[in-house]
């Protein structure tokens, strides 16, 4: 162990994991192109107020999990715990949603939450975040869910389930809130200390509590679906019909409230059996009041985020990715061939080939072993004899065929 190690909950992504990360990121970009979503790269640092107002003062994220500091000029800043609030800010700041048509965006990158690290939970983690601004209708909710499903399916995930709920709107949610509050009041002494506070400040958060006793109480509480107004019922019906029409299966879960306060109407989560306790691989929903809450116009929004570490944990268990070796391993077999080998490697690399070499002479046996370990397709051997004759020997490591080529014919490679 070095004297200075990585910060707890912050992980290095090592070279052997990169092929899976590339696979996931390439698939995200491919689907974004097919569904018409444009990439926006927002900063990882924002003003603290953006998250406090956006995510909700009484959420765990804002109350306990943010990396917040003062910069040298005394401004309060926070490492983003999620991407949605930052994207809303960027959309408003750059007037990206003024055309009257939906603005479809995605963002890939690290998020930061001061949570207790465990399997599937880190303090720095990565998300694919997808958002649509400016469309209040239910089909766009179904579109983002269908994009999420296509992303997971095309990556080969099978053991996933989509849970879907509607949290109602400012018209019908207060009715549910009132019913829930009077139900919870009757059970107040048995709620955890956090939920006793939540009961006063934000009773819906009790539904999201991880403490078993609170979950058991909430399970017998009032049903959100029975409080939905006709507009919210119709909205949910079109979302479910649209998902059904493209063969997507979901489970309605009327306890699904999510850990962020900005949602209204549609909310959803995707869980995987491969993940253990932290089983949510993705989550999202509609947040029509968020832009206004952040000082902008009434701009509806809907989106989701996928936790990439969790997704990659599943892929690592279910997929075997061949890591590709270089096209060539260049073996300089004597000290005097090092210089010409260096020149040759450079020329080949400029021509677009991948070439690996070690800049110390070695025996043929050790070089072949090394090429094999690297997974090279061919070995170019440059020993004193080859150099004297202006030639190289090329061995195909798959077919074991060996040919001698004049250095001038290196174009044939």
Closest distance of CB 129 from ligand HAM, Å: 5
Distances (CA, A) of 332 to 13, 278, 393, 398: 32, 51, 11, 21
169 vs 282, beta carbon nearer ligand HAM: 282
102 sits near ligand HAM (criterion: CB under 6 A): no
Backbone angles phi, psi at 68, to 5 degrees: -115, 140
Residue 136 near residue 301 (C-beta atoms within 8 A): no
Interatomic CA distance for residues 55 and 49, integer angstroms: 10
Per-residue contact track with ligand HAM, 11 to 50, x per CB under 6 A? ----------------------------------------
Which residues, in sequence order, are bridge partners of residue 394? Answer: 380, 403
291 sits near ligand HAM (criterion: CB under 6 A): no
Residue 265 near residue 236 (C-beta atoms within 8 A): yes
* Closest C-alpha among 43, 110, 49, 42 to residue 75: 49
115 sits near ligand HAM (criterion: CB under 6 A): yes
Classify 28 as helix, strand or coil.
helix
121 vs 197, beta carbon nearer ligand HAM: 121
310 sits near ligand HAM (criterion: CB under 6 A): yes
Closest distance of CB 131 from ligand HAM, Å: 5
92 vs 281, beta carbon nearer ligand HAM: 281
Site for ligand HAM in 118-177 (CB under 6 A): 121-122, 125, 127, 129, 131
Residue 125 near residue 132 (C-beta atoms within 8 A): no
Interatomic CA distance for residues 200 and 198, integer angstroms: 5
Residue of 169, 305, 345, 357 interacting with ligand HAM (CB under 6 A): 305
Count of residues that bind ligand HAM according to CB under 6 A? 26
Site for ligand HAM in 74-93 (CB under 6 A): 82-84
Per-residue contact track with ligand HAM, 230 to 269, x per CB under 6 A? -----------------------------xx---------
Alpha helices in 319-351 (DSSP H): 338-350
- With a CB cutoff of 8 Å and minimum separation 6, the contacts of 268 are 145, 162, 163, 164, 165, 250, 256, 283, 284, 285, 304
Distances (CA, A) of 76 to 46, 56, 72, 110: 9, 17, 10, 20
187 vs 286, beta carbon nearer ligand HAM: 286
208 sits near ligand HAM (criterion: CB under 6 A): no
Interatomic CA distance for residues 83 and 107, integer angstroms: 8
131 vs 135, beta carbon nearer ligand HAM: 131
103 sits near ligand HAM (criterion: CB under 6 A): no
Chain residues in the site for ligand HAM (CB under 6 A):
82-84, 113, 115, 121-122, 125, 127, 129, 131, 259-260, 280-285, 287, 303-305, 307, 309-310
């Amino acid at each position: 162990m070095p004297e200075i190690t990585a910060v707890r909950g912050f992980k290095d992504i090592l070279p052997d994991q990169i092929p899976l990360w590339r696979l996931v990121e390439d698939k995200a970009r491919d689907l974004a192109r097919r569904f018409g979503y444009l990439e926006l790269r927002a900063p990882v640092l924002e003003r603290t107020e953006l998250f406090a107002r956006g995510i909700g003062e009484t959420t765990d994220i804002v109350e306990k999990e943010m990396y917040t500091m003062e910069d040298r000029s005394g401004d309060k800043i926070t490492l983003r715990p999620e991407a949605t609030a930052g994207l809303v800010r960027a959309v408003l700041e750059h007037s990206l949603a003024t055309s009257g048509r939906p603005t479809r965006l995605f963002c890939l990158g690290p998020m930061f939450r001061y949570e207790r690290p465990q399997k599937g939970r880190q303090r720095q983690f990565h998300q694919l975040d997808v958002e649509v601004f400016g469309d209040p209708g239910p089909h766009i909710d179904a579109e983002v869910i269908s994009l999420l499903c296509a992303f997971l399916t095309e990556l080969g995930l099978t053991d996933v389930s989509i849970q879907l709920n509607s949290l109602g709107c400012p018209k019908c949610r207060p009715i549910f809130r009132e019913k829930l509050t009077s139900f919870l009041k009757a059970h107040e002494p048995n709620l955890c200390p956090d939920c006793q506070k939540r009961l006063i400040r934000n009773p819906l958060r009790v539904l999201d509590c991880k403490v078993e006793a609170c979950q058991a109480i909430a399970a017998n509480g009032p049903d959100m679906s029975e409080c939905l107004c006709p507009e919210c019922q119709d909205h949910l019906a079109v979302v479910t019909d649209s998902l059904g029409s493209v063969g997507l299966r979901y489970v309605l879960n009327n306890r699904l409230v999510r850990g962020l306060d900005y949602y209204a109407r549609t909310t959803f989560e995707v869980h995987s059996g491969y993940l253990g306790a932290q089983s949510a691989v993705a989550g999202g929903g509609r947040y029509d009041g968020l832009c206004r809450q952040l000082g902008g116009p009434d701009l509806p929004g809907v989106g989701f985020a996928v936790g990439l570490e969790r997704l990659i944990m599943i892929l690592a268990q279910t997929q075997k990715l061949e890591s590709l070796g270089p096209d060539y391993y260049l073996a300089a077999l004597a000290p005097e061939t090092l210089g010409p080998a260096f020149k040759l490697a450079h020329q080949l690399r400029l021509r677009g080939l991948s070439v690996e070499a070690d800049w110390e002479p070695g025996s043929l046996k050790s070089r072949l072993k090394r090429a094999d370990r690297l997974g090279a397709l061919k070995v170019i051997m440059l020993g004193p004899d080859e150099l004297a004759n202006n030639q190289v020997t090329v061995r195909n490591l798959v077919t074991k065929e060996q040919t001698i080529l004049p250095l001038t014919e290196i174009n044939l490679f």
